[in-house]
Structure 1
Amino acid sequence: MSGHGRRVPAGRAGRLRLRRSLAGALRGADLLERKARLLVDRERVERRAAGEAGLVWRDRLAEADAWLVRGVMLGGERALAEAVPADRARAEVRWDALMGVRHPAAVTWTGPVRSPAEPTPPNTALAHAETAYRAAVRAAADHAAHQAAADLLAAEAKRTRQRVRALRRHWIPRLQSELTAVNIALEEAEHEEAVRRRWAAGREAG
């Protein structure tokens, strides 16, 4: 019996099975480590893109707020309400997969369309505010997509590293220990068999 509660397979067949299990565990750990590296690399790309989109979002939002204040001061809140198009903005997320992890890959943003019958912003400040707000919403959508992708990739990378640690610290050492025990048992059996043969040969010669 092994010290881990599993019976050590006996004989050469057991040793072969343990060798195959050990080789598979080592290969699996290597593949999981490669997966974790790829996930972390992509996560860093997504974090950087999220940070850049976040900066654009905050800058455009501040710019839009400043233009909005000017526009309302010039035309009043009624002018602002009249200039808002009835249509709504739309965002569609395209998903991708990396090493089995689905994550947002891109966002297609469509701004609201003002019909010919709808009034346009009554002053230049509100027109600038509208343009800046559209850019802010687009950047916010990009930021959200990149942030979500980074979080999903980071979570899977963490789970993958945990599996690697379980293999490296527990499963692989256990298999190595059991393989060593089997090798020792086989060597002892072969030694005992050789002694018996020599003893039998000596009796026959006598």
Structure 2
Amino acid sequence: MSAHARRVPTGRAGRLRLRRSLGTARRGADLLEHKLRLLLDRERAERRAAEEAYRVWRDRLAEADVWLVRGVLLGGERALAEAVLADRAFVDVEWDALMDVRHPATVAWTAPVRSPAEPTPSNTALAHAESSYLAAVPAAAEHAARTAAARLLSAEAERTAQRVRALRRHWIPQLENELSAVELALEEAEHEEAVRRRWAATHGAG
């Protein structure tokens, strides 16, 4: 808000009002900066967790692919089709909030269960491939959740940083300038009043 868009208060009441507004703006900027630090710290932690989950996901997937090729070479595609689980994995994401920013917090997953009627992998390679693929699933879910959390926190951090910049670079300097102008005007008025009083006292005595 520019000085031309609002009426600048004057006098002692105006000075008090400006001091209060300036104090509120400074406290607001301090609180927003504290919020920004918390958001950035959590965002960095989430990005590190996402990178680690991605590494695990990539390694387990690559390992599984190697075992899968070996298993198919040993038992053929029919052996692969027979070893596929009918059950599915389930992923549950729990959400949390930091400074009113909701984001994925923890990931829980339920592995598929092979029923007694289902055939087991016909060779060791396919069994290893199955284990590696199952290990890749929670890592992939963890990577997705952590990446989403980092993105949400980053967006709020950017909005908070914009508000801090608006306060520090525009609103607070404007209030400081207005307060200085009001205080200068009060000093000049008080000086003029003192001169008038001296003049009146001198000429009254005369």
**TM-score, structure 1 length as denominator?**
0.95
Aligned position for 2:188: 188
- Distance, in Å, in 1 between the alignment partners of 2:23 and 2:10 is 19
- How far, CA to CA, are the matches of 2:198 and 2:98 in structure 1? 63
The offset of 1:50, in angstroms, is: 0.8
**Residue 32 of structure 1 contacts residue 164 of structure 1 at CA under 8 Å; is this kept in 2?**
yes
Q: Counterpart of 1:22?
A: 22
Counterpart residue number, 1:84:
84
Secondary structure of 2:91's partner? Answer: strand
Q: Secondary structure at the match of 1:93?
A: strand
Amino acid at match of 2:160: T
- Counterpart of 1:120 in 2: which secondary structure? coil
The yes-or-no answer on 1:168 pairing with 2:165 is no
Residue-pair matches, total: 205
Shift of 1:202: 2.7
Residue 177 of structure 2: aligned partner: 177
| Cα deviation, residue 4, structure 1 | 4.2
Q: Alpha-carbon deviation of 1:186?
A: 0.9
* Residue-by-residue CA offset, 1:20-39 (whole Å, 9 max, x unaligned): 11011111111111111111
3-state DSSP class of the match of 2:7? coil
Contact residue 25 and residue 167 of structure 1 kept, 8 A: yes
Could you tell me how far apart the structure 1 residues matched to 2:135 and 2:19 are? Answer: 60
> Which residue does the alignment assign to 1:32?
32
Structure 1 residue 5: deviation in Å?
A: 3.8
Q: Deviations over 1:113-150 (max 9, x none)?
A: 11111111111111111100010111101111111111
Residue 86 of structure 1 deviates from its aligned partner by 1.3
Q: CA RMSD in A?
A: 1.4
Equivalent residue runs for 1:68-107 within 5 Å: 68-107=68-107
In the TM superposition, residue 192 of structure 1 has moved relative to its aligned partner by 1.9
Alpha-carbon separation, structure 2, partners of 1:10 and 1:41: 43
Name the TM-score, length of structure 2 as normaliser: 0.95
Query: Which has the larger displacement, 115-124 or 169-178?
Result: 115-124
Does the 8 Å CA contact 1:91/1:108 hold for their aligned counterparts?
yes
Any conservation in 2 of the 1:8–1:181 contact (CA below 8 Å)?
no
| 1:3-60 Cα deviation digits (max 9, x unpaired) | 5443220111111110011011111111111111111111111111111111110100
Q: Secondary structure at the match of 1:154?
A: helix
Letter in 2 for 1:176: E
Task: In structure 2, give the amino acid aligned to 1:48.
Answer: R
Name the aligned partner's letter for residue 45 of structure 1.
A
1:64 and 2:49 matched = no
Provide the residue aligned with 1:136 in structure 2: 136
Q: SS where residue 106 of structure 1 aligns?
A: strand
